[in-house]
Structure formats: structure tokens, C-alpha cells
Amino acid sequence: MKILLSIAALAAGPLMAAEGPPPGFTPIFNGQNIAGWHISMTNHHGDTSEWRIADGALTARQNRPGNGGILLTDEEYGDFEIYLEIKPDFGCDGGLFLRSTESGQAYQVMLDYLEGGNVGGVYGERLEGVESKPSENWREAWKEDDWNALRARIEGEAPHIQVWLNGERITDFEADENHLPTGRTHGHIALQIHGGDRCNPDLQHRFRNVAVKPLD
């Protein structure tokens, strides 16, 4: 019976560990500092310096009303899967950027945890011609006031993006073409704290156990 259950789970999609990345993933956040990452100074959401470490997690805040921003990996990635755990305050908009430019043009996995928001859908951040695709049934998979395991997979020149939340696939997005500047197929991974009035300095996003598995 246990073997049959394991086979069924694999057929349904990637498995999510309760805590920590699945086998085959390499951590890219060390839980102590932001080594290997840097703040974008050209992102339109702002240049907040409020990227802090608390209990092994990375926290992000606006450092004054309206001033958010993104934190980018130093390394660039093409086809890959990323795993991370998130615990945002309700009322705060954020995001996970895939194949991002330095200024934040990217395919974004939405982490919009606020009234009318969406977690896990795909949006073209400063990309023309990308039709947004909200995630399906993310609230059924979401754990209130707890850490949530998110896993995203991007592959192909015109990318195919899939997103899982706590083991449930909630998004399956296929772009009609490559919408990134100059036809680029690689880019940074970025974490976002939204600028403007979709968050405020009293609220924060939290990220931990960030890990990547390259596919190319």
C-alpha cells in the first residue's frame, strides 16, 4: 500500500517536503546573510535596504512608505526549478522573479497575499504581451499563519512555467513566445517586496530554504 501511494504521489506532481528543499536541490540562501545576492538599484519598485535575517529566514520590508524593491541572485539561470518557503503578512504584495534582468523585467510568480490578491499565478513584470495567468485553487492549498512550500519550474525559450503550493499544482502557464529583452533565455532569480501602497513598512514578507535545481 505504501508503494502504491508513493507512485500515485509522483504521478500527481513534484513532492514537497514539509521543511527544507527536496533531494537534488542546492541551497542558494545560507540563512545567515545575503551572500550570493544583491539589491537592485534600478528596479521601479524601489531600492529598500530592509533585507534582514531573523531565525534563519530572510525578511523583506519597505524601508519607508512606498519604497520596496527586489533582491537578485548574483548568478543567472536558464531552465531550472526553484523551491522556497514563504510566510508573508496578510496585506503585503510580493513576488518571485524568474529569468530577471538587473532592473526586474521578468516572469513573475505572484506572491500577492492581500485582499483580491493571488499566490502562485504568473505575470509579466515589465514584459509586453504576456497574458497573466492567475493560479487555481491556491487558497485550498494555503496554510494560514504558517510556512508554505512553493516550487516553480521554468523551461524553454518560450517558457513553460509550472507552480506547486504545498505539493498541489496550482499553475500551468505556457508563453506564446519569448518576451524577455533581446530574446534572453537566462536571468537572475529575484525576491520582491512590492513598492507603492500594496504593502507598508509595518508588514513583511518572509522567505527561507531557497534552493535551485538547474535543468540545463
What's the pLDDT at 13? 45
CATH class of 21-214: mainly beta
State residue 153's pLDDT score: 98
- pLDDT in the model for residue 19: 74
Please report, for the chain, the start and end positions of each structural domain, with discontinuous segments joined by +: 21-214
What's this model's pTM, rounded to 2 decimal places? 0.91
- pLDDT average per 10 residues of sequence, the chain (216 residues): 36 51 97 98 98 98 98 98 98 98 98 97 97 96 97 98 98 97 97 97 97 94
Instruction: Report d(CA 172, CA 133) in Å as an integer.
Output: 8
What is the structure's pLDDT at 146?
97
Cα–Cα distance between 98 and 77 in angstroms, integer? 8
